[in-house]
Amino acid sequence: MRKILRFNLSLNLRTFLLIVTTIFSLFAATLANAEGEVKLRDLKYGTILFDYYQQNYFSSLVGYEIAHSRGELNHQINEARLLHGGMTLSYGLPDEAEGIFQQLLNAKSTADNDSSVEITDEVRNKAWFYLAKMYYHKGEAKKAAATLGYIHGDIPQDIQNEFNYLATLINIRNHNLNSAEQALDGVMKGSVFEPYLIFNLASSQLANGDTHRSEANFKKVIEYGKDHLQEEFQVLADRAKQALAHINIEQGDLLAAWSHLQFVRTTGLYSNRALLSYGWTAIKLERYDMAIPALSVLDKRSISIAEVQEAKVLLAHLYEQQRAPRTALKHYLLAERAFTSGIESIASARRIIDGQRIPEEFVINLDAMMDETDWYGSEPSLDYNKLTPFLIELMSSNSFHTVLKELRDLYALRKNLNYWSRQAKEHQLIISHRHQGWSSDSLLNFVSKSRAQKDAMEVSISELGLHAKTLSIKEQDRFAPLLDSMKEDFKFLEKNLKKISKIEKPYKKSEKTLLWMAKLHKRIKQQLQQTDYMIKKLENVMRIVVNAELDKHEERMRYYWAQARLGKARLYDQTLNSIEEDAIQQAGPQ
Partner 1 sequence: MKKIRLTNSCILIFLSLLLSPTYSWANDQNIDFAAQENQKNAQQALDSVKILSKEIQGLKKSVVDLNKDLLLMEEELLFPSSTRLSLFVSLDIGQFFTLESVKVKLNGKQVASHLYSDKQRQALARGGVQSLYITNLNLGKHTIAAFFTGIGPNGRSYKRATELEFQKKQGSQYLELAIIDDSAKQEAKFTIKQW
Tell me which residues in 280-309 interact with partner 1 (CB under 8 A).
280
> In angstroms, what is the minimal distance from the CB of 473 to partner 1?
42
CB-based contact 295:279 (threshold 8 Å): yes
Long-range contacts from 423-430, C-beta under 8 angstroms, 24+ separation: 424/520, 424/521, 424/524, 427/517, 427/521, 428/521
Options 10, 50, 340, 482; binder of partner 1; rule CB under 8 A: 50
Options 208, 296, 327, 547; binder of partner 1; rule CB under 8 A: 547
Options 382, 480, 544, 579; binder of partner 1; rule CB under 8 A: 544
Options 8, 47, 259, 296; binder of partner 1; rule CB under 8 A: 47
Q: How far apart are CA 565 and CA 557, in angstroms?
A: 12
Q: How far apart are CA 362 and CA 353, in angstroms?
A: 10
The residue among 373 and 496 lying less far from partner 1, judged by its C-beta, is 373
CA nearest neighbour of 31 among 122, 101, 130, 118: 130
CB-based contact 389:269 (threshold 8 Å): no
Query: What letter represents residue 312's amino acid?
Result: K
Pick the piece of the chain touching partner 1 (CB under 8 A) from 109-117, 143-151, 198-206, 489-497. Answer: 198-206
CA nearest neighbour of 129 among 93, 165, 96: 165
580 binds partner 1 (CB under 8 A): no
The residue among 96 and 223 lying less far from partner 1, judged by its C-beta, is 96
3-state secondary structure of 331: helix
Return the residues of window 368-397 that contact partner 1 according to CB under 8 A. Answer: 370-371, 392-393, 395-397
Q: How far apart are CA 149 and CA 386, in angstroms?
A: 49
> In angstroms, what is the minimal distance from the CB of 556 to partner 1?
4
Options 310, 320, 336, 539; binder of partner 1; rule CB under 8 A: 310
> In angstroms, what is the minimal distance from the CB of 471 to partner 1?
40
Options 117, 559, 570, 574; binder of partner 1; rule CB under 8 A: 559
**Interface mask toward partner 1 for 148-187; x: CB under 8 A:** ----------------------------------------
Long-range contacts from 509-513, C-beta under 8 angstroms, 24+ separation: 509/431, 509/434
Return the residues of window 223-252 that contact partner 1 according to CB under 8 A. Answer: 230-232, 235-236, 239, 242-243, 246, 249
The residue among 151 and 560 lying less far from partner 1, judged by its C-beta, is 560
Is residue 219 within a helix (H) or strand (E), and if so which, with residue range? helix 211-227
Q: What angle do CA 530, 532, 538 make, to 5 degrees?
A: 105
Options 147, 168, 200, 205; binder of partner 1; rule CB under 8 A: 200
Query: How many residues does the structure list for the chain?
Result: 590
Options 1, 10, 11, 54; binder of partner 1; rule CB under 8 A: 54
Q: How far apart are CA 486 and CA 474, in angstroms?
A: 19
**Interface mask toward partner 1 for 504-523; x: CB under 8 A:** -----x---x--xx--x--x
Q: How many residues bind partner 1 (CB under 8 A)?
A: 109
The residue among 427 and 454 lying less far from partner 1, judged by its C-beta, is 427
Return the residues of window 254-273 that contact partner 1 according to CB under 8 A. Answer: 269-270, 273
Return the residues of window 409-468 that contact partner 1 according to CB under 8 A. Answer: 409-410, 413, 416-417, 420, 423, 427, 430-431
Provide the 10 A C-beta neighbour count for residue 421: 13
The residue among 169 and 187 lying less far from partner 1, judged by its C-beta, is 169
Options 38, 382, 459, 464; binder of partner 1; rule CB under 8 A: 38
> In angstroms, what is the minimal distance from the CB of 299 to partner 1?
15
The residue among 7 and 57 lying less far from partner 1, judged by its C-beta, is 57
Q: How far apart are CA 160 and CA 231, in angstroms?
A: 27
> In angstroms, what is the minimal distance from the CB of 40 to partner 1?
5
Q: How deeply is 475 buried, as exposed, middle or buried, from its count of CB atoms within 10 A (0-12, 13-18, 19+)?
A: exposed
> In angstroms, what is the minimal distance from the CB of 34 to partner 1?
12
> In angstroms, what is the minimal distance from the CB of 255 to partner 1?
16
> In angstroms, what is the minimal distance from the CB of 346 to partner 1?
13
Cα 10 to chain center, whole Å?
29
3-state secondary structure of 71: coil
> In angstroms, what is the minimal distance from the CB of 12 to partner 1?
13
Rounded alpha-carbon distances, angstroms, from residue 67 to 44, 71, 80, 81, 87 = 6, 6, 10, 12, 15
CB-based contact 362:384 (threshold 8 Å): yes
Return the residues of window 92-111 that contact partner 1 according to CB under 8 A. Answer: 92-96
Q: How deeply is 360 buried, as exposed, middle or buried, from its count of CB atoms within 10 A (0-12, 13-18, 19+)?
A: middle
Q: How deeply is 472 buried, as exposed, middle or buried, from its count of CB atoms within 10 A (0-12, 13-18, 19+)?
A: exposed
**Interface mask toward partner 1 for 55-94; x: CB under 8 A:** ---x--xx--xx--x---------------------xxxx
Q: How far apart are CA 211 and CA 209, in angstroms?
A: 5
Is residue 131 within a helix (H) or strand (E), and if so which, with residue range? helix 121-137
Helices 511-587, 398-437: inter-axial angle, 10-degree rounding: 140
> In angstroms, what is the minimal distance from the CB of 301 to partner 1?
15
> In angstroms, what is the minimal distance from the CB of 370 to partner 1?
8
The residue among 151 and 538 lying less far from partner 1, judged by its C-beta, is 538
Options 254, 305, 538, 571; binder of partner 1; rule CB under 8 A: 538
